[in-house]
């Protein structure tokens, strides 16, 4: 009995022949994408292109079963393809670590496929794929999840000039999501809102919220998992733990050291780690690591040439515009800060929060709390600067 016997019996020879010769694009290698890829490989699809921009996070492992702890921080597309390949060695799987919205994935590129299958958690990207499939005149299988609910929607497109057999993805209005994909927030922000969400929902809680439990990393080492990968994760977690400890023993010296350590980790070391993943930046502008000391002493140089720059950092606008140009109005919340002023606001707000954390167990964001609002504003704008994104005034952030 051959591998395809059961599929042929269910589908019939004619339909199985179409299936086995189809060139298939799968967009997304997360919770849905992993299961979808496994099923396609085992069902007889012979050529599959798998595209995803994300990397594997420890929290993915409880539901994305093509990944293991040794794969953490690696490309989802590359690892999923390598793991699924042995299920059917005759299948050709072409993994791509990239963003489906990048310009090289144009209508002409889409036309090479017979069918596209979406496994995305990003509404904007789903809309983009839908438009490309309409323009290319190829069918799209849409899928998504919301909690314990799952949806699948076949969309039979022809061309822009001929009517489709079904409605398209955008024919029925979709609710705007209230959250963003982790990969976008943590690695590849593209809007000021992404940076604000990162500062509010990740950076502030990491320093002043509930401490994360890293005990399972020790269990992973004991179970024989990749020790070097686990060591890297422990180093990252420990960097924040040591800073948290410094912040909770408030003195001017410890707080200054904490501010320097936080800045170095998130705006220099973490960005350099992302830059080492060169595939991520093939078709998008890479972020710029920031150096706190040179920004503060005025010697920081932004070497990028495709964005506006300023000769100094002590009062003029920096390389990216800062929100609405209302600094002249004299309103504090609407003042556009320079890069140096933003670093100073970051340091000052962190000191104020450090003084409070000695008597408060947890500090949560409140838009009417000046300390947390200043910290989120400064943290978000520094990240925006690093990624070449328009920065926002305190009033706009609020």
Q: Positive or negative CA dihedral for 81, 83, 86, 88?
A: negative
Domain ranges (residues) in the chain: 5-155, 185-397
* pLDDT tens digits along 106-133: 999 999 999 999 999 878 888 899 999 9
- The span from the first CA to the last CA of the chain, in angstroms, equals 65
Residue 318, pLDDT score: 41
Q: Positive or negative CA dihedral for 69, 73, 74, 79?
A: positive
Burial (CB count <10 Å: 0-12, 13-18, 19+), residue 369: middle
What is the band of 330 on the pLDDT scale with cuts at 50, 70, 90? very low
Q: Where are the alpha helices (DSSP H) in the chain?
A: 5-11, 13-21, 31-43, 76-84, 107-110, 123-136, 182-186, 192-198, 204-208, 215-222, 227-247, 252-264, 270-275, 292-297, 339-357, 370-386, 394-397
Residue 145, pLDDT score: 78
- Given a cut of 60, whether residue 141 has pLDDT beyond it is yes
Total count of residues recorded for the chain: 398
* pLDDT tens digits along 177-224: 556 666 677 778 888 999 999 999 888 988 898 765 556 556 655 555
Vertex 76, ends 68 and 116: CA angle to 5°? 130
Task: Report percent pLDDT > 90 for the chain.
Answer: 40
Least confident stretch, 10-24, 113-127, 183-197, 379-393: 183-197
Average pLDDT for 219-246:
63
Question: Is 291:303 a contact under the CB 8 Å cutoff?
Answer: no
| Residue bearing the bigger pLDDT, 145 or 314 | 145
* C-alpha pair distances (Å), 214 with each of 59, 74, 234, 235: 12, 20, 8, 11
- Given a cut of 60, whether residue 45 has pLDDT beyond it is yes
Residue 209, pLDDT score: 83
- Could you confirm whether domain 5-155 is CATH 3.40.50.300? no
Characterize the bridge pairing of strands 149-155 and 115-118.
unpaired
The residues assigned a catalytic role are 183
Average pLDDT for 156-171:
62
Residue 336, pLDDT score: 84
Q: Which CATH superfamily is domain 185-397 in?
A: Ubiquitin activating enzymes (Uba3). Chain: B, domain 2 (1.10.10.520)
Distance CA 212, CA 206 (A): 8
146-150, 257-261, 326-330: range with highest mean pLDDT: 257-261
């Amino acid at each position: 009995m051959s591998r395809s016997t059961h599929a042929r019996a269910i589908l019939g020879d004619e339909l199985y022949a179409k299936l086995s010769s189809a060139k298939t694009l799968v967009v997304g290698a997360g919770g849905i994408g992993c299961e979808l890829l496994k099923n396609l490989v085992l069902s007889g699809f012979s050529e599959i292109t798998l595209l995803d921009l994300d990397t594997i996070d420890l929290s993915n492992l409880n539901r994305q079963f093509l990944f293991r702890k040794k794969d953490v921080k690696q490309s989802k597309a590359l690892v999923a393809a390598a793991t699924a390949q042995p299920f059917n060695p005759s299948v050709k799987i072409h993994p791509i670590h990239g963003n489906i919205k990048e310009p090289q994935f144009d209508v002409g590129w889409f036309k090479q496929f017979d069918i596209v299958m979406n496994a995305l958690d990003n509404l904007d990207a789903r809309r983009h794929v839908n438009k490309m499939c309409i323009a290319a005149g190829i069918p799209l299988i849409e899928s998504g999840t919301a909690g314990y609910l799952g949806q699948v929607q076949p969309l039979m497109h022809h061309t822009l000039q001929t009517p489709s057999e079904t409605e398209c993805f955008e024919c029925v209005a979709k609710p705007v999501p209230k959250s963003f994909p982790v990969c976008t927030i943590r690695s590849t922000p593209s809007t000021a809102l992404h940076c604000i969400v990162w500062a509010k929902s990740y950076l502030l809680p990491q320093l002043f919220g509930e401490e994360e439990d890293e005990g399972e990393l020790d269990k992973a080492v004991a179970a024989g998992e990749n020790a070097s990968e686990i060591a890297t994760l422990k180093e990252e977690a420990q960097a924040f733990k040591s800073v948290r400890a410094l912040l909770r023993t408030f003195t001017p010296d410890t707080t200054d050291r904490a501010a320097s350590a936080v800045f170095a980790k998130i705006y220099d070391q973490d960005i350099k780690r992302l830059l080492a993943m060169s595939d991520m930046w093939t078709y998008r502008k890479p972020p710029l690591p920031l150096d706190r000391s040179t920004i503060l002493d005025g010697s920081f140089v932004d070497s990028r040439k495709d964005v506006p720059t300023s000769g100094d950092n002590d009062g003029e606008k920096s390389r990216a515009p800062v929100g609405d140009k209302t600094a002249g109005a004299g309103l504090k919340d609407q003042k556009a800060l320079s890069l140096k002023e933003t670093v100073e606001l970051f340091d000052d707000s962190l000191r104020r929060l450090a003084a409070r954390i000695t008597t408060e167990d947890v500090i949560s964001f409140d838009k009417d709390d000046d300390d947390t609002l200043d910290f989120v504003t400064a943290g978000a704008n520094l990240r925006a600067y690093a990624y070449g994104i328009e920065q926002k005034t305190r009033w706009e952030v609020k």
